[in-house]
Amino acid sequence: MCGIIGYVGKSDRALNIVIDGLKALEYRGYDSAGIAFIKNNKTQIIKEKGKIKNLENKINFNLKTNLGIGHTRWATHGEPNLKNSHPHKVGKITLVHNGIIENYEELKEILKNYNYKFISDTDTEVACALIDKLYQEKNDLVKVLSKVSNLIKGSYAFGIICDDELDTIYATRKDSPLIVAIDDQDYYIASDIPAILKYTNKYMLLDDYDIVKMSHNNITIYNNKLEIEKKKNYTFSGNIEAAEKNGYEHFMLKEINEQSTVIKETMFPYLDDGINGLIDKMPDFSKYNEFDIVSCGSAYHTGLVAKTLIENYTNIPVNVEIASEYRYKKLFFNKKKLIILVSQSGETADTLASLRIAKEHNMDTLAIVNVVGSSIAREANEVLYIKAGCEIAVATTKAYLAQIAMFALIALKIGISRQTIDENELNEITQDIRRLPLLIDEILKNDYKNLAKKIFKQNDIFFIGRGIDYAVAMEGSLKLKEISYIHSEAYAAGELKHGTISLIKDKTPVIAIVTDMNIAPKTISNIREVKARGANVILLTTIKLDDNYDFINYKIVVPSIHPIIQSILTVIPLQLLAYEVAKLRNCDIDKPRNLAKSVTVE
């Protein structure tokens, strides 16, 4: 989604700072970019369609200026063209915006009565006009921005320059992320940490309705028109390399290769002090007899894996829900149910809204989140942080893996408490968890280029599996389609013949996942069904294959490990295969078209 950066301070290289920030926010997804800065005591705006490089070509970097705001736009209202790009300027107000103003049409009609004319199709231009109108009345932007929050419905993070105060940036937020950073007398606002990392790793999180006023040597943060004395300071513990490619061709490949470390950092601290350590470090789940897991996209797929783990190892029933559905459906709450929100970014609008609904009903909530201090992490009653580190590629890999790891630990903790996992099994599992990083690195050594070459020209690729393998198939299919643009679907293996099998024709790739030995013979029968219709079968399995498997065209074998953590290994070849296929198709792997890393709008 849109990215915002703003700088005011000692340096006269604000243009470079803002462009550096925008480049670091590219991963969020965008289709145009723009900046506003001060030149000859006037606000100057430059914007361009497409990549930041196009924008850079229009900027004279010799110009010295101490203040600038920048924006990458991910189109919501109106096409991705020049007139809809940010910054927008109406009257004295120049604005960049991330979020969606839901009542913009209504506000637009009101503002037209005051002779405001609109040249873009955006909700942002309407917000800009509204701020200008109120500024004409009140002449004080702090008061204006606190009033705006009562008039606007929807979500926003704003960065603002006012023609009457050309040495000052104003900013505020509601339901869209925004951080503030202070380094000596340099002040920044940004949608996310990577945007400022080249310059500082110290930052503060803004709360909803906070208003920031920052000028050359001063910063004040207000809430409810009152100055806030103190805000908690955070230090980003990773270094800038965490947000760089480290020699890998793409962030996605780098992040796939970080997965053994991610598993160590996410899981090992819970095992260091034996069973008691695990029990003490995890929340107490003893009062719950049902879970709702609520999330979107890959995090929803994590929930599907988690359902099998928790149900199989603890006997607690789990409902897995897509957040954008959950927030509008009839919900059945009771005090013995825990609502678990899963989100890498911690800012996904639908997941955040679901969390708030659960809290309105006084339900207990637990967040499983990667980004420290994100909205979901802050608002949930309890948070368990996965330790995936900074994930830049739009398509998630290491965060998905770490989420599964966290659910395996949760299942383990509850299983021990409920005595559904005995001591022998627990020992076996902990030994296997300790082996995981090594096994992950072994899998990462395999080359999937040859297999990718066999399938990258296909129009349709199917994934099948049963039980937990079906959940992993869904993630494999999403990974492939989102970065390679090949149509793909995942099916419960037994369901294929109820319709979709009619799409299987000669050479259609079907990637079948078989790691659950209890139902392996059933999936094998389904594989034979698609084979009989001409499918090109790729089997991803833990089974050592013998001659009886001559109906398989290509096989990928992953090590067999305790089922509670098997999916952690199974998904990795699918991530790598998707990567190699997308590469052969010359796709923009880290920033697939139309996608955004942090989906902060509904």
Which one among 214, 299, 405, 540 touches ligand F6R, defined by CB under 6 A?
299
Q: Which residue has the tokens 């873009």?
A: 120
CB of 359 to ligand F6R, least distance (A): 17
Among 266, 348, 523, 541, binds ligand F6R (CB under 6 A): 348
Q: Which is nearer to ligand F6R, 297 or 437 (CB)?
A: 297
Go through 311-347 and write b for each residue having 16 or more CB atoms within 10 A of its CB, e for each that does not: eebbebebbbbbbbebbeeebeeeeebbbbbbbbbbb
Nearer to ligand F6R, 66 or 375 (CB): 375
Contacts 24+ apart (CB under 8 A), 272-275: 275/416, 275/426
- By C-beta, is 172 or 345 nearer to ligand F6R? 345
CB atoms within 10 A of CB 138: 12
Which residue, 484, 524, 542, 532, is CA-closest to 508? 532
- Other residues' Cβ atoms within 10 Å of the Cβ of residue 217: 11
Q: Residue 297 interacts with ligand F6R (CB under 6 A)?
A: yes
Helix, strand or coil, per DSSP, at residue 137: helix
Which residues 6+ apart lie within 8 Å of 441 measured at CB? 260
Please say which residue, 429 or 587, places its beta carbon nearer to ligand F6R.
Answer: 587
Determine how β-strand 460-465 pairs with β-strand 509-514. Answer: parallel
Candidates 84, 98, 298, 567; binder of ligand F6R (CB under 6 A) is 298
Q: Which is nearer to ligand F6R, 169 or 296 (CB)?
A: 296
Query: Residue 113: which residues within 8 A CB-CB, separation 6 or more?
Result: none
Out of 344, 354, 508, 566, the residue judged to bind ligand F6R by CB under 6 A: 344
CA–CA gap between residue 566 and residue 312 (Å, rounded): 14
Distance between CA atoms of residues 388 and 27, nearest Å:
16
Contact pick of 260, 266, 343, 541 for ligand F6R (by CB under 6 A): 343
Interface with ligand F6R includes 351 (CB under 6 A)? yes
CB-based contact 410:282 (threshold 8 Å): yes
For residue 321, the minimal CB distance to ligand F6R (Å) is 13
Interface region with ligand F6R, contact rule CB under 6 A, candidates 1-9, 109-117, 167-175, 291-299: 291-299
Question: What distances in angstroms separate CA 247 from CA 242, 253, 254, 257, one per listed residue?
Answer: 12, 10, 8, 12
Taking the least distance from each CB to ligand F6R, the nearer of 154 and 297 is 297
Determine, following the binding rule CB under 6 A, whether residue 395 of this chain makes contact with ligand F6R. Answer: yes
Active-site pick, 2, 128, 162, 587: 2
Question: What residue number has its CB nearest to ligand F6R?
Answer: 297
Binding mask 308-337 for ligand F6R (x = CB under 6 A): ------------------------------
**Is 375 one of the binding residues for ligand F6R (CB under 6 A)?**
no
Helices assigned H by DSSP within 447-539: 449-455, 468-484, 520-532
At closest approach, how far in Å is the CB of 478 from ligand F6R?
A: 6
Nearer to ligand F6R, 29 or 154 (CB): 29
Which range touches ligand F6R (CB under 6 A), out of 11-19, 31-39, 297-305, 548-556? 297-305
Size of the site for ligand F6R (CB under 6 A): 15
**Nearer of residues 32 and 343 to ligand F6R, judged by Cβ:** 343
Q: Is 266 in the site for ligand F6R (CB under 6 A)?
A: no
Backbone angles phi, psi at 123, to 5 degrees: -75, -25
Burial class (CB in 10 A: 0-12, 13-18, 19+), 457: exposed
**Which stretch in 98-106, 228-236, 345-353, 555-563 sits in contact with ligand F6R by CB under 6 A?**
345-353
By CB under 6 A, tell whether 84 contacts ligand F6R. Answer: no
Minimum distance of ligand F6R from residue 325's CB (angstroms): 14
Residue 524 makes contact with ligand F6R by CB under 6 A: no
Q: Which is nearer to ligand F6R, 24 or 368 (CB)?
A: 368
Q: CB-wise, 128 or 323, nearer to ligand F6R? A: 323
Which residue in the list 89, 133, 174, 597 is annotated as catalytic?
597
From the centroid of its chain, how far is CA 417? 32
Helix (H, G, I), strand (E, B) or coil at 195: helix
- Cβ atoms of 188 and 5 within 8 Å: the answer is yes
DSSP lists the bridge partners of residue 89 as 94
Is the bond leading into 509 cis (omega within 30 degrees of zero)? Answer: no
Return the sign of the alpha-carbon dihedral for residues 242, 246, 252, 254.
negative
Asked if residue 599 binds ligand F6R (CB under 6 A), the reply is: yes
Looking at 74-82, 123-131, 294-302, 358-366, which segment touches ligand F6R (CB under 6 A)?
294-302
Q: Is 484 in the site for ligand F6R (CB under 6 A)?
A: no
Known active-site residue 390: no
Residue 505: half-sphere exposure toward Cβ, Cα within 13 Å: 4
**Residue 523 is a binding residue for ligand F6R (CB under 6 A):** no
Closest CA to 397 of 487, 484, 476, 466: 476
Q: According to CB under 6 A, which one of 345, 375, 508, 541 is a site residue for ligand F6R?
A: 345
Other CB atoms within 10 Å distance of the CB of residue 86: 30
Scanning 86-94, 207-215, 249-257, 341-349 for contacts with ligand F6R by CB under 6 A, the matching segment is: 341-349
Query: Could you say which residues in the range 444-483 bind ligand F6R, by CB under 6 A?
Result: 478, 482
Q: Could you give phi then psi for residue 554, rounded to 5 degrees?
A: -150, 140
Q: Contact region for ligand F6R (CB under 6 A) — 58-66, 96-104, 296-304, 443-451? A: 296-304
- Of 31-39, 253-261, 295-303, 538-546, the window that binds ligand F6R (rule: CB under 6 A) is 295-303
CA 129 to centroid of chain Cα atoms: 31
Are 599 and 474 contacting, i.e. CB atoms less than 8 angstroms apart? no
Contact between 296 and ligand F6R by CB under 6 A: the answer reads yes
In 244-325, which ranges are E strands? 290-295, 318-322
Is 531 labeled as catalytic in the residue annotation?
Answer: no
What are the tokens at 576?
Answer: 């790598």
| Minimum CB–partner distance for residue 405 and ligand F6R (Å) | 15
Question: Which sequence positions are flagged as catalytic?
Answer: 2, 597
Binding site for ligand F6R (CB under 6 A): 296-299, 343-345, 348, 351, 395-396, 478, 482, 598-599
